[in-house]
Chains A and B, each alone.
Chain A
Amino acid sequence: MNSRRLQRVVKLLSRLPGVGEKTAMRYALHLITTSEPLAHDLAASLAELQQHLRPCSICQNIAEIAAPNDEPICAICSDNKRDRATLCVVARVHDLLAIERVGAMRGGYFVLGKLLSPLDGIGPDELPIGKLLRRIEDGVTEVIVATPPSVDGEATALLLKRELETYVDKKGLKITRIASGVPHGGDLEFADPITMGRALAGRQAI
């Protein structure tokens, strides 16, 4: 148990989100004892990730590059069929992937990378707002704010609304916020009180 090599791998694995010391040890021992060339393949794939994936220079989504000096542009930003007039602002790449999975969003994205959170030392200046404004000047007519419905997510949405105000007044930019509430096909009786409350607060005329 005191192999320094093993300890090192355990230490590294336990830095991953959701992985504790025990799980890290299970992973490490599995990698050693399995007959598959798993450790080797994993190491090679991870090294490739590092080499070929970068944040997209346009939207901060994950972009694949062939050579180290290529400009990273993600698959969505390089897709000509995408509607460039609609821009969906999300907090994390996770959220982008979740929206993409649905397939209903035909526009582009902008990943903030973080949310306004003074308690974590993140103020308005830490958000890539200048970059977002430049992007909007590039022919965007609608911004969909898809930050999460948490306190930080709501504050970030309010900040974006304020920062984009001049574009609304001068260029007729439309700003929308994703709805939140009862999922489609869900029986109302299964909705928790918070979700139900939100759905009621955000009700729409029919």
Chain B
Amino acid sequence: MVRLRSISIRNFRNIHAADVELGPRLNVISGGNGQGKTSFIEAVYLLATSKSFRATKPIESIARGADIASVRGRVTEDDLEREQSVGLRRGGRVARIDGKATATLAEYAVTTPAVVFHPAGLALTAGPSAERRRLMDRVALYTDPTSLVALEQYGTALKARQKALVERGATARDAEHWEALMVEYGGRVMASRARAVEKIADVGGRAFKEIATPGLSMNIAYGPSASSVPSEYREALVKHRAADIRRGSASIGPHRDDIDLKMQSVPVRGAASQGEHRALVLALKIAEIEAISEARGVRPMLLLDDVSSELDVERTAALFKYLGTMPGQVYVTTTRPDLIDTKGIGAHRVDFVVRSGVIA
């Protein structure tokens, strides 16, 4: 298993300087609202993946008045220890493992796997499809390391085609070439997403059975927007050119993919209750953890941001029951540490209190 032994945070959101030794199993981070609990696990996530689950630009995470934010930590995997660091400044980030920058940020991201579960993540099943595409792509990163490159290439071809169509009309000479590339790169994205969803589907379905009302079952399938037959995909793109100029983007393709979620054979969006959505989200999170564990060969660290406030009592209990069976390092933030039921993993519980960005 992989775990963080210690973390040093500088100028990250409201945490100016913190050096913390972490517990091997369960770390409970408590404190009032706005004190820095989420910033703390965001720093852990940043150290693990080089990305934030909140900000889109590095600059948004840098403490006001500072130019550079940094997170540094010692990570152990099996018996080996490594030092990882991520520095953020205006315009970019640097991620290093044992002092050496990795060739790509994707390579850094898969080194120390981490899965986060935060309140905004509850929109996973009821909200827009972008969140579900991100789930597929996070898993695909582990099952197929080149998937991210294909996704970037696809994005470039997609934008180039749109620009060509807007500037030169539906008969633009180069449109067919960008479309050929969209089909080629998009085909690779679809293939790796299909494999990723296959992994998620199996575990997710089983996890849902344990969490939800007895008798309910969930069906998870990849919902590609375009045909996987290259000639059909290309023809559809040609057919939609005029419409795509009007709507401002291609109407089909991986950028519009989804995960089809069904409960008792009925699509869940609009049909499932709040409680059922929570169970679905939790099952998908467990599936993400399991799929990554299997692909990467190591248990990811699990970061739970204030989930008990969003999940109901039943779901929270189900989550902690699962955590008891899952070996791995877990971080939990909460305003009420006394309510964290940690029967399964309580033996190795370490508590921290965050107040005004200071961690004690």
Contacts and interface: CB of A to CB of B under 8 A. Distances in A.
Interface secondary structure of A, over-half rule: helix
Interface of A: 116-119, 123-124, 151-152, 154-155, 158-159, 162, 192-194, 197
A193 B153 CA distance: 15
Given A151-B153, A155-B174, A158-B180, A123 B159 contact: no
Interface stretch (B61-69, B89-97, B165-173): B165-173
Interface string B158-195: 01110110011000111011101100010000000000
A21 to B, nearest CB: 15
B173 A159 contact: yes
B181 A154 contact: yes
Contacts of B359: none
Contact of B157 (A123, A124, A155, A193): A155
B103 A118 contact: no
A159 B174 contact: yes
Nearest to A129: B173
Contact of A119 (B146, B160, B177, B185): B160
B174 A123 contact: yes
Interface string B208-235: 0000000000000000000000000000
Given A123-B174, A158-B181, A159-B177, A118 B160 contact: yes
Interface in B108-138: none
B101 interface: no
B146 A124 contact: no
Contacts of A197: 146
A117 B103 contact: no
Chain B interface SS verdict (over half): helix
Interface of B: 103, 145-146, 149, 153, 156-157, 159-161, 163-164, 167-168, 172-174, 176-178, 180-181, 185
Nearest to B185: A151
Contact of A117 (B146, B160, B173, B181): B160
Closest 8 CB pairs of A and B: A118-B163, A158-B177, A151-B156, A118-B164, A124-B173, A155-B177, A193-B145, A118-B160
A192 B103 CA distance: 9
A155 B145 CA distance: 24
Contacts of A119: 156, 159-160, 163
A156 to B, nearest CB: 8
B165 to A, nearest CB: 9
B177 A162 contact: yes
A112 to B, nearest CB: 14
B278 to A, nearest CB: 37
Contacts of A192: 103
28 contacts: A116-B160, A116-B174, A118-B161, A118-B163, A118-B164, A118-B174, A118-B178, A119-B159, A119-B160, A123-B167, A123-B172, A123-B173, A123-B174, A124-B173, A124-B174, A151-B157, A151-B181, A155-B160, A155-B177, A155-B178, A158-B176, A162-B176, A162-B177, A193-B145, A193-B146, A194-B146, A194-B149, A197-B146
Contacts of B157: 151, 155
Contacts of B176: 158, 162
Nearest to B157: A151
A158 B157 CA distance: 13
Contact of A151 (B145, B160, B164, B167): B160
B149 to A, nearest CB: 5
A109 B178 CA distance: 26
A117 B163 CA distance: 9
B177 A116 contact: yes
Given A155-B160, A155-B178, 11 more contacts: A116-B174, A123-B167, A123-B172, A123-B173, A123-B174, A124-B173, A124-B174, A152-B156, A155-B177, A158-B181, A162-B176
